[in-house]
Amino acid sequence: MPEVAFWQGNEAIAYGALAAGCRFFGGYPITPSSEIAEIMAERLPKLNGRFIQMEDEIAGIAATIGGSIAGMKSLTATSGPGFSLKQENLGFAYIAEIPIVVVDVMRGGPSTGLPTKAAQQDVMQARWGTHGDHGTICYAPASVQECYEVTVKAFNAAERYRQPILILSDEVIGHMREKVVVPEIDPSTLTERKRPVDIPEKFVPYRPDPKDDLPCMASFGDGYTWHITGLTHNDWGFPTNNAEEIEKKMKRLMRKVDRFRDDIVEYETESVGDAEVVVLAYGSVARSSLRAVHDARVRGIKAGFFRPVTLWPFPDKEIEKLARKVKTIIVPELNCGQMVLEVERAVHGKAKVLPVNLVNGELFKPEEILAVIEEVA
């Protein structure tokens, strides 16, 4: 019998991380994500793991990267202002190719903004927040159940692709309580870091495996000596100003996500087969949107629902295909119009794209979205 729990989204992320094999958490208190840190502080020592509350958000992610360098699956969690502070070392994890998972439980911004209110204003920051080019993998769970599931996936992806993975939850999902059927996770199904097979003298830390184009990684203390740097480096991890080596590194960083895009992208649809109007939403907004679509169907409107589970990479090909069959795509968001830009890029004029935005700290009511559906139907 699988365990049935009644959790908040933040709790589900913490328990999902532990089930995925996470044994290190470095962080700093911030609303509305602190429950994740609190659970990790309580649970990790019992599993011979490590929890450390650092002096600030920057140090929280730095210690988390350190934990991963030493071989532990590592997590940090934060919210808006903290996510801003973490961008510097997030970039370090991208270029140095260190697997970590970063949770951002979104609240209203800019700045201190609305610590206890829901928003979806960090979705572009998740993609472009740190300076420089890199591929991004980012999950946006829409239920407590999914918080658990995407956290397990995020750890698997971090270890497989050797890069940071983001989870963008929001205040509603983070603090909402729901029934969760806790999946029984067979540890053998978890992705473990690809370790070097070469003897230490022959280990080249950033040389991609010809089989999957991804480099393996030794941990500090495993008998290997190697260099990690935030400077652009060659296969040996040593800083380079050589144009050929720089290009090789940058292209491979981008390829990590591009090449495996179809394996990574996840989305959910409902009633899109004959739909004329589709509501495209993610995170907490997807919940009021789905209800609105159901209500519209009851009223005889051919409404459908599309929910990206991965915001990055964005399911653009799938949305383009959908756009060929529908008249209008409504994009409700708790921001002033961020992911709608990606929808417009994907749709490329094939259907009408209608942004609906709410930035007053509240979640959409289903009837507000239904009213828009009725208007365009």
Partner 1 sequence: MPSQEVFSWLRTRFFPHIWCPGCGHGIIMHALLRALVALKKKKSETVIASGIGCSSRMAGYIDACTVHTTHGRSLAFATGIKLAKPELTVIDVMGDGDCTAIGGNHFIHACRRNIDITAIVMNNNIYGMTGGQASPTTPVGSIATTTPYGAIDPSFDVCRLAEGAGASYVARSTIANPKQAEQFIMNGIKKKGFSVVEIMTHCHTTFGRKNNRRTPIDNVNFFKNNSVPLAKAKEMSEEELAGKIITGEFVNRNIPEYTEQYLALIENVRGK
Contact residues for partner 1 (CB under 8 A)? 24, 26, 45-46, 48, 50, 52, 54-56, 58-59, 62-72, 74, 88-89, 92, 200, 220-231, 238-239
Which residues have CB under 8 Å from 234's CB, separation 6+?
206, 240, 242, 245, 248, 249
**Is the CB of 75 or the CB of 347 nearer to partner 1?**
75
CB 64 to partner 1: min, Å: 6
**Is the CB of 87 or the CB of 269 nearer to partner 1?**
87
**Is the CB of 164 or the CB of 174 nearer to partner 1?**
164
CA 191/CA 168 separation, integer angstroms: 21
> Running DSSP on this structure, what letter comes out for residue 362?
P
Which residues have CB under 8 Å from 199's CB, separation 6+?
none
CB 203 to partner 1: min, Å: 11
Task: Kindly write down the DSSP assignment for every residue of 156-215, as one continuous string.
Answer: HHHHHHTS-EEEEEEHHHHH-EEEEEEPPPPGGGS-------S-GGG--TTPPPTTTS--
The two three-digit tokens of residue 50, written as one number: 């490590």
Least Cα distance to 292 among 188, 371, 185 occurs for 371
CB 218 to partner 1: min, Å: 9
CB 70 to partner 1: min, Å: 4
CB 155 to partner 1: min, Å: 16
CB 135 to partner 1: min, Å: 20
Cα R_g (the chain), whole angstroms: 21
Q: Does residue 211 come out as left (phi exceeding 0), alpha (psi in the -120 to 50 range) or beta?
A: alpha
CB 260 to partner 1: min, Å: 27
**Is the CB of 55 or the CB of 184 nearer to partner 1?**
55
3-state DSSP call for residue 73? strand
**Is the CB of 6 or the CB of 220 nearer to partner 1?**
220
**Is the CB of 33 or the CB of 68 nearer to partner 1?**
68
Contact 120, 338 (CB under 8 A): yes
Judge if the upstream peptide bond of residue 313 is cis by omega within 30 degrees of 0. Answer: yes
**Is the CB of 219 or the CB of 357 nearer to partner 1?**
219
CB 78 to partner 1: min, Å: 15
> Running DSSP on this structure, what letter comes out for residue 351?
S
Task: Kindly write down the DSSP assignment for every residue of 3-63, as one continuous string.
Answer: EEEEEEHHHHHHHHHHHTTEEEEEE---TTTHHHHHHHHHHGGGGT-EEEE-SSHHHHHHH
**Is the CB of 158 or the CB of 322 nearer to partner 1?**
158
CB 193 to partner 1: min, Å: 14
**Is the CB of 88 or the CB of 368 nearer to partner 1?**
88
Contact 100, 92 (CB under 8 A): no
